[in-house]
Amino acid sequence: MTQAASSSLCAGCGTEIAAGLLACPVCHKLVHGADLAKLASEAREAEERGDLTTSLGTWRKTLDLLPPGTAQRTTIDAQMKRLSAMVDGRAPKPQPKNTGKKAGVVATTGAVGAALLKSKAILVAVLANGKFLLLGLLKLPTLLSMIVYANMTGGRGIGLSIGIVAAIYVHEVGHVATLRRYGIDASAPMFIPGFGALVRLRQYPTDAHEEARTGLAGPLWGLFASVVALAIGAAIHSQLVLTVASWSATINVFNLTPVWQLDGARGLKALSKSQRAIVGAIAIGVGLLTSQPMPGIVGVLVLGRAFVGESHPTGDRGMFALFASLVVLHPAVVWMANHLREAL
């Protein structure tokens, strides 16, 4: 009785299909064929109206309904890589079907109309990022974990602990925002005392380019948090806020270390051997110039990965520029924050 309740009959040949199977073992008909067709239709419609994130996320849902190694899965994987390239600017985006109307408005109003449309796009982007910053704060588990983390690390002073928690939070939200931009389902940040914070993925990046962008998004958002703290600390002459800026930037440099599940290891997946060698040399040079050990450690490990292990065959110029910028700018924030603190 239990077995009958947990199985179904194939619509093609009538064979009993055990629960959990995605295709008939006899005729290989897909169990979720109707659902797959519906999802595919929704993904195409989303792409036609220019909503690439929704389209990409919808295609990801189909993978849970397809057996590995099928031709359909290979086709969908290619679709996802194509959309991913358009999302992050490596390929041109398609014009939505209502583009003609928008183009008419721009043509009629001239430069002013174009500027207004661009301003609207910028405003939408800012509001979207603000929404992500509020995301975890509205989740009780995330908020409670932040409070516990701040109290358990309060030996340095509760003010400094709150500042560090806030900086780590912005870093983690950067991951969440970028993951969701690619249609990847991810949780709000969770803080673990003695470890830091993490984001749980319910789906995974399609390729090395997505992996690198979602990985380096954390240090990129963390850079903004560090710079804001640096500017505020300099403006109000606060040792505490300048210390938060220094700690925040140092934590982000540590995360660029290309080991284990740290962001640097994910960012490195999209870099070629020569790109890795250049980033490594830059980081070592920055460490020597600023007398900071962490950039030097990152540089040595990145340089080593240029000659050991697999690397991306062609590289990713965008991620190469971002990685190189991060290993320069974060140590610069640390250097500036420390010098301003000494001057106060």
| Residue range 88-140, pLDDT digits in tens | 888 887 766 654 444 444 444 454 444 444 444 434 444 456 666 666 665 66
The stretch 20-31 carries a mean pLDDT of 82
Q: Which of 14-23, 35-44, 268-277 has the highest mean pLDDT?
A: 268-277
Q: Helices 158-181 and 239-255 meet at what angle, rounded to 10? A: 40
In this predicted structure, the answer to whether residue 342 has a pLDDT above a threshold of 50 is yes
Q: How many CB atoms lie within 10 A of CB 6?
A: 10
Candidates 206, 315, 197; CA nearest to 263 is 197
Asked whether 225 and 241 are in contact (CB, 8 A), the reply is: no
Q: Residue 9's pLDDT is what?
A: 82
Q: How many CB atoms lie within 10 A of CB 228?
A: 16
Six-digit token pair at 123? 């405003």
Domain limits, the chain: 2-87, 139-343
Query: Rounded to an integer, what distance in angstroms lies between the CA atom of residue 65 and that of residue 118?
Result: 39
**Pairing status of strand 196-198 against strand 190-192:** antiparallel
The stretch 187-192 carries a mean pLDDT of 80
Among 54-58, 134-138, 178-182, 202-206, whose mean pLDDT is lowest? 134-138
Query: Rounded to an integer, what distance in angstroms lies between the CA atom of residue 159 and that of residue 241?
Result: 9
Alpha carbon of 294 to those of 152, 252, 288, 298, 334: distances in Å?
A: 25, 10, 10, 6, 11
SS3 at position 325: helix
How would residue 6 be classed by pLDDT, with cut points 50, 70 and 90?
low
In this predicted structure, the answer to whether residue 80 has a pLDDT above a threshold of 60 is yes
Percent of the chain with pLDDT over 90: 54
Query: Rounded to an integer, what distance in angstroms lies between the CA atom of residue 280 and that of residue 295?
Result: 9
Average pLDDT, the chain: 84
In this predicted structure, the answer to whether residue 269 has a pLDDT above a threshold of 90 is yes
DSSP string, 273-311: HHHHHHHHHHHHHHHHHHT-HHHHHHHHHHHHHTTSS--
